[in-house]
Amino acid sequence: MSERKITETEILNRVYNAADHETLMSAYRDWAAHYDSDLLGRFGYVAHIATAKALHEALKGVTEARILDAGCGTGLVGEELVKLGYRHLDALDYSAEMLAQATQKAIYDKQMQADMTKRLPIDDDRYDAVVCTGTFTYGHVTGAAFDELVRITRPGGVIVFTIREGAYEEYGYRRRMLDLETADAWELVSFYDTPYQLEEGNTCKMCTYRIAS
C-alpha cells in the first residue's frame, strides 16, 4: 500500500465537497488504496452488507443471477455478494484507480470504466439485477442515472441502491424515482432507512425496485 498523504477526514471532505467531476475523480484516485481500511476500520461502513442482504432478499436467493455492481468502487458490495453465493458479477466505475482495486479482488467477470451520468456501454435488458451503493449522493450521480439502470435491467429484474440521507430530497432523487413509478418503468419493492457508517452515525435509504415485466 502506498504511503498516505492525506487523512481519512480530509479525503472524506474532498469527496463530499467536490465542485466538479474532475475534482471528485482526483479525490477517489488519492483514496483508492486506503478506501477499504478507512471505511471499514475507521468509519464503520456497513451499507455494502445491507445492500447485499437487500438484493439477496429481492432475488430470493437465485444465485445464478447476472448482476452489475454500478459505482462498484473497490468492490466491497461484490465481496458481500460472493459470500452469499453469487458468482456472475460485473463491475462498473468511472474511477480507474477504484476499479483497479476492485479488479485485484478477482470477483468480477468484467470491469467497465464508464460514467453513470452518460449512456452506458451496455445492451438493453443485459442484467437480472443492478446494485449501486454509495453513489447516489452529494456531488456524485444525479437521479437522471436511474434511467440507464432501468434500461440495462431485464423486465422483472431488480435494482437495489442506497441514497445518502439528506440528498434524497435535496438532490432530486425522490422526484425522478416517483416519475419512473408513474411511468410504470419500475415498481417499488422496499424502501427503508438503514445505517450507512456506524462511527459517523449516518444513515441511507435502501431502495429496491422491480422493472416492469
First to last CA, the chain: 46
Q: Which of the residues 141 through 180 are near ligand SAM (CB under 6 A)?
A: 141
CB-wise, 49 or 189, nearer to ligand SAM?
49
How many angstroms separate the Cα of 201 from the Cα of each of 45, 132, 164, 204?
10, 21, 12, 11
Specify the residue for cell string 467536490. 18
Is 181 a binder of ligand SAM (CB under 6 A)?
A: no
Is 101 a binder of ligand SAM (CB under 6 A)?
A: no
Q: Which residues pair with 164 in a beta bridge?
A: 204
CB-wise, 19 or 182, nearer to ligand SAM?
19
Sign of CA dihedral 150, 151, 152, 153: positive
Is 90 a binder of ligand SAM (CB under 6 A)?
A: no
Shortest reach from residue 209's CB to ligand SAM, in Å: 18
Q: How many residues bind ligand SAM (CB under 6 A)?
A: 20
> From CA 114, how far away is CA 82, in angstroms rounded?
23
Q: Which of 18, 34, 95, 171 binds ligand SAM (CB under 6 A)?
A: 95
Shortest reach from residue 78's CB to ligand SAM, in Å: 9
CB-wise, 116 or 177, nearer to ligand SAM?
116
CB-wise, 66 or 117, nearer to ligand SAM?
117
Q: Cell for 109? A: 467477470
Q: Cell for 53? A: 442482504
Angle between helix axes 76-83 and 47-58 (nearest 10 degrees) is: 50
Sign of CA dihedral 105, 106, 108, 112: positive
How many angstroms separate the Cα of 128 from the Cα of each of 27, 118, 193?
32, 21, 24
Judging by DSSP bridges, how do beta strands 66-70 and 127-136 pair with one another? parallel
Is 71 a binder of ligand SAM (CB under 6 A)?
A: yes
Is 197 a binder of ligand SAM (CB under 6 A)?
A: no
| Closest-approach residue to ligand SAM (CB) | 73
Is 91 a binder of ligand SAM (CB under 6 A)?
A: no
Q: Which of the residues 106 through 145 are near ligand SAM (CB under 6 A)?
A: 115-117, 133-135, 140-141
Stretch that binds ligand SAM, among 6-14, 70-78, 81-89, 121-129 (CB under 6 A): 70-78
Report the interface residues with ligand SAM, using CB under 6 A.
28, 47-48, 71-73, 76-77, 93-95, 98, 115-117, 133-135, 140-141
